């Protein structure tokens, strides 16, 4: 639940609430005014943590501290989320075997790092008449890569003067 959506203290406008006290113990269903008075007496806030429940669930706690903890938790989740980047490796259809092996090594490194890779071949001038050479080169790249380390997201296809394919790493489960 977003922090902005939470109702606290006087913003809670229902007759009764299911109260959870400052120790995390359930105090049962009590009138809202009584729950608010109890929170005020302890110098804490009455926070509605589950508005969908009938009656809504409210906790007695320090709202500032609670808000801080929620924000801290969301920051940690963002840190842990993996970032998948798209890397691109470009070449020409006239590429030599050693150069192709070097490019394939780079593609393998990118896949091992967990990135998606777009392998692109650029055709210039009369090379455009022999696009089948590009397909052969892309197939050769796939042969040079370690088996079971990638899956083909998009097979080789022409896009204007470029032929490209998309590879992504296989999940390590």
Q: How far apart are CA 92 and CA 96, in angstroms?
A: 9
Q: How far apart are CA 52 and CA 148, in angstroms?
A: 47
- CATH for 86-169, among 1.10.287.620, 2.60.40.420, 3.30.110.10, 3.30.1490.20? 3.30.110.10
**Joined tokens for residue 100:** 């192709």
CB 12 within 8 A of CB 59: no
- The CATH homologous superfamily for domain 3-78 is Translation initiation factor 3 (IF-3), N-terminal domain (3.10.20.80)
Q: How far apart are CA 11 and CA 116, in angstroms?
A: 48
Q: What percent of the chain has pLDDT over 90?
A: 35
Global pTM reads 0.54
Q: Distances from the Cα of 3 to the Cαs of 64, 68, 160, 170, in angstroms?
A: 11, 10, 49, 37
Q: How far apart are CA 157 and CA 121, in angstroms?
A: 10
Among 88, 114, 109, 87, smallest CA distance to 171 is for: 114
17 pLDDT above the threshold of 80: yes
Residues 116-153 pLDDT 10s: 999 999 999 999 898 899 999 999 998 998 878 888 99
pLDDT at residue 163, rounded to an integer: 94
């Amino acid at each position: 639940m977003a922090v902005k959506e939470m109702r606290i203290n006087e913003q809670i406008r229902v007759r009764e609430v299911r109260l959870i006290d400052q120790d995390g113990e359930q105090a049962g269903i009590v009138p809202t005014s009584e729950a608010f008075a109890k929170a005020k007496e302890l110098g804490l806030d009455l926070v509605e943590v589950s508005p969908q429940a009938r009656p809504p669930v409210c906790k007695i706690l320090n709202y500032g501290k609670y808000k801080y903890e929620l924000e801290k938790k969301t920051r940690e989740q963002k840190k842990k989320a993996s970032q998948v980047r798209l890397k691109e490796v470009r070449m020409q259809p006239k590429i030599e075997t050693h150069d192709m092996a070097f490019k394939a090594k780079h593609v393998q490194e990118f896949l091992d790092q967990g990135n998606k890779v777009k392998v692109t071949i650029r055709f210039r001038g009369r090379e455009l008449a022999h696009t089948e050479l590009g397909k052969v080169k892309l197939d050769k790249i796939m042969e040079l890569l370690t088996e079971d380390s990638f899956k083909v997201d998009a097979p080789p296809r022409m896009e204007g003067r470029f032929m490209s394919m998309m590879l992504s790493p296989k999940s390590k489960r």
